[in-house]
Amino acid sequence: METQEAVAESTPIETDGQSESKRDGLKKFTLGPNDSLEGKLTYGGSMSVDGGHAEGEFRLGGNIEVGNGTVVKALLEGQNVTIKGEVEGKLTARDKLTLGKSAKLNGDVQVRRLQIEDGASLNGYVRMGDFEHQAGS
């Protein structure tokens, strides 16, 4: 059963000429070890960076996951953000930020909820609680 779920998640679906994965009706794409994304991205779905290279500004309507051994240098904004690798830059999690035991985060953080596992590191200013999106930030 787990194998079928993994296959369903990675099966590309053509939508308006773009290839993306769909699982449980949600849009999601994954950057793998040989993938690279640089620039500005506004996307309604979720994103996972698993060994790829990502640099720039990424504003997502869904979740962001940064896998073990992955380095991301970017402004990140998402609903829930999970970091297991390294992130450098400003981060906004509209709901929850989770730092795994091998996570390294350098940058200012704005979150509603924060979970930090033993072994993770966070260097920067943290603003927690309910907040409103400010223009120009």
Kindly report, residue by residue over 7-38, the tens digit of the pLDDT. 333 334 333 333 444 545 579 989 999 999 99
The 10s digit of each residue's pLDDT in 76-121 is 999 999 999 999 999 999 999 999 999 999 999 999 999 999 999 9
Residue 101 lies in a domain: yes
Residue 10 lies in a domain: no
- Domain carrying residue 42: 27-128
Residue 79 lies in a domain: yes
**Paired residues of 26 in beta bridges:** 23
Residue 5 lies in a domain: no
Residue 91 lies in a domain: yes
Residue 106 lies in a domain: yes
Q: Quickly count: other Cβ atoms within 10 Å of residue 21's Cβ.
A: 18
Is residue 116 within 8 A of residue 131, CB to CB? The reply is no
Residue 81 lies in a domain: yes
pLDDT band at 129 (very low <50, low <70, confident <90, very high): confident
How many domains does the chain contain in total? 1
Is residue 32 within 8 A of residue 50, CB to CB? The reply is yes
Write out the two tokens for 49: 């960076």
